[in-house]
Structure 1
C-alpha cells in the first residue's frame, strides 16, 4: 500500500496538566513552530491554542489548554473552565506531568511550587476519575532522572486507573516526542484534513501578537512583576507597502508596576518591543511596526473585552 492509499486522518488532541508542566513547550515541539508562548512563570497560557502537527497522513490539531489549578479569581475560573472544555471536546487527551516536580514533592525535598504542582496533578486525576475519562499519561522533564525512579513514578500514577498508556518524554529536547506524535496520529479519526498543509496554528493574529508581547514582558521582568499584567492588541493595520502596524496596550494593576515595565529611560519597554517585533517579523514574514503603551487599570481582570480577545467565558 502506498502512502496515497492510506486514508487521511484529522482530529483534536488536548494537552492538559498543572501550570508549568511544559504544555506549551510540547505543543511548540510537536508543531515545529512558535504557537504557544513559553516563559519562566507558571500559568502562561490563558486560552486554548490550536497548534497543528502532521504525522504521515494524519493531521493533529493540538489544543494547548491553560494549566489546571485551584481557581481563586474570575480569570482563574475562566481559564480552568477553558482547559476542561478543551479536553472534553478532543478525540485524544494527554495529561502532561512534570516528573521532576512530582518526585521532589514525594521526597518532601521539593519547593512550594513542586508541592503545588503535585497537588494540581492529584486534583486532575480525581476529576478524570469522576468523569470516567481514559487518557494518555506523558511524564515530562525526564532529563537526568534514573530509569528505575521514573518507572516507579509511572506505575504509581498508572495505578490511579485513569490512564490507557504512558509515555516518557522531554518536551525541551524532543526525547520520546516522536513516539507520542505517532500514537496521537493513530487516535485521530479518518477524514479530510481540517487545515491546509502549510498552516501551523489556528489563532487570530491579533491574539497571537498580544501573547508574543506578553511572553517578552515576563521574560524581562519575571522577578519584579507578578502575574498582574495583560496585553491587548488595540489596532492591527495592513499598510500599502506590505508591512503591518500593530498597536498594543499593556495593562497593569498598580501605579508602582508601570515604571517596572517602562524601565530606566524607557529601556525595558524598548527591549520588550524590539524582541516582540523580531518574532512577529518572522511569524508574519514581513516588516512589523509595533507601538506599545502601558496603562494602569486596577480592574483589567474584569474587562469583558479582554476575555473576548482570548476566547474565554466571562460569566463562569
Structure 2
C-alpha cells in the first residue's frame, strides 16, 4: 500500500492515472475461419528462451470469471451475462508479451480433470465479495478442486470490492477466505468488526491501512499492488510445469472423482484455503488493478515452450465467438429459462463489397410466445440485441459488422 495502493483505488482515494491501461494493444481475431484455424496450428514464433504460464480461473458461477478474462486479454472474446451457464466450454485466451506467453482457461464454473496437474501452472480463485451469502466462503466445488491439486500454486482474487458497502469487512473476509494464512505465513490481522473507536467508524480506510501496515511490516506477500509487483514473489513454492500437447486439454464436463472420500467429508466444514500465495483485490468499475494482476501472472511464468503464435488471442473459432456473444445478449435480455431454449443457426457469413462482415443468424424458439417475446414491441428488443452484439464483434474482429438476427418458430 502507499501512493500506488490498490486500496486507494478501491476506497475512492484520488491518485495519478497509470501511464498505460492494460499494456499493449492485443491482436484481433480473424473473422475468416480458415485463417484462424491456420494461425492456431501455425508454429509458435517463440523467442530463444521462451516462458509460459497456464492459468485456470475458477470460482462459483457468476463470480466474474469471463469478465476478468476479457479484461486481462484486452478484448471481449468470452461471453458475459448475469445468468449462470453463460460459458459452455473450456475456451482459452492467450496473452503474449515479449518472451512470455500467458494462457488463460476461462472454465465453465470449475475444472475437474486429473490431467490438470500435468498441464496447469496456476489457479486463480475468484470470489465475488459483493455477494452477501457467499462472500466469506469458497464454494465446496472450488475447495474440492484445490484439494485435488494442492501442488498447483493458487492466488485469491477478491472481486467487486468497490460494491462492498462496509469496507471494514474486507479484513474479516480475507481472514476467512485464507484461514488466516497466506504464502505459508500466518496473518496478524485485527478484525475491523472489533474496533469501536469513533475515528475508525468515520475513516475506515485509515484503520484498514493501519492493520495492513502492522502486518506487512513483518511479512511479505499479503496484498499485491503496483509497487510490490515489481519485486515479484517467491518461486520456492512454485511448481515447474512441463508443457503438454493438446491431449492434455481440460475437460470441464467430466465429474470430479476423489478416491479418498474422507477428503470430501472434511471439506464440508471448510470455508477457506490456507495455501494461497497472494491476494488481489479488484474493483468492478475500475480496471487499473487488473494490470497489476496481469504483471504478476507474467512474472510467475517459467521456462517452457509456447503453445500458440504471438498473434493468437483465443483458441475459439470466429463462429464460436459470434454464437457466444449473441447467446450472452439473449441471456441478459430474456427472462428465466427462455434463452436456454433458443437454437442458433448461422445462415450467412461472408465478406461484403466494402470489406465488412455480413452475418445472418436464425434464432429458433419452441413457442410462439417466445417469438413475440424475443422480437419485442415493434422489433425493438431483437434490434437492440443485434446492435450490441455487433458492437462487441466489431471490437473483436476489428472490422465493420452487419449482423441480422431472424426469429423463427422451431418446427
Q: Calculate the TM-score normalised by the size of structure 1.
A: 0.72
Q: After superposition, give the CA deviation of every residue in 1:200-228 in whole Å (9 maximum; x if it has no partner).
A: 32320001111122223234335794544
- Residue 266 (structure 2) pairs with residue 153 (structure 1): no
State which of 283, 301, 309 in structure 2 corresponds to 1:170.
283
Match of 2:261 in 1: none
- CA gap of 1:6–1:42, structure 2 versus 1, over 3 A, is same
Q: Indicate the structure whose relative CO is greater, using CA pairs within 8 Å and at least 6 residues apart.
A: 2
Which runs of no fewer than 5 residues in structure 2 stay unpaired? Answer: 1-46, 180-272
State how 1:1-316 maps to structure 2 within 5 Å. 7-55=49-97, 57-68=99-110, 83-85=111-113, 88=116, 89-101=119-131, 104-105=132-133, 121-132=139-150, 134=152, 135-145=154-164, 148-159=168-179, 160-170=273-283, 172-222=285-335, 225=338, 227-239=340-352, 241-296=354-409
- CA gap of 1:161–1:278, structure 2 versus 1, over 3 A, is closer
How many matched pairs? 268
Which runs of no fewer than 5 residues in structure 1 stay unpaired? Answer: 69-82, 106-114, 299-316
Question: Would the aligned equivalents of 2:60 and 2:127 in 1 still touch at CA under 8 Å?
Answer: yes
Question: Would the aligned equivalents of 2:156 and 2:276 in 1 still touch at CA under 8 Å?
Answer: yes
For 1:45 and 1:10, the matched residues in 2 are separated by: 25
Displacement of 1:276 in angstroms is: 2.1
Q: After superposition, give the CA deviation of every residue in 1:92-112 in whole Å (9 maximum; x if it has no partner).
A: 1111111121xx22xxxxxxx
Question: Would the aligned equivalents of 2:138 and 2:177 in 1 still touch at CA under 8 Å?
Answer: no
Structure that is richer in strand per residue: 1
Structure that is richer in helix per residue: 1
- CA gap of 1:18–1:202, structure 2 versus 1, over 3 A, is same
For 1:137 and 1:149, the matched residues in 2 are separated by: 16
- CA RMSD in angstroms comes to 3.2
Match of 1:312 in 2: none
For 1:250 and 1:9, the matched residues in 2 are separated by: 43
For 1:229 and 1:63, the matched residues in 2 are separated by: 26
Q: Calculate the TM-score normalised by the size of structure 2.
A: 0.57
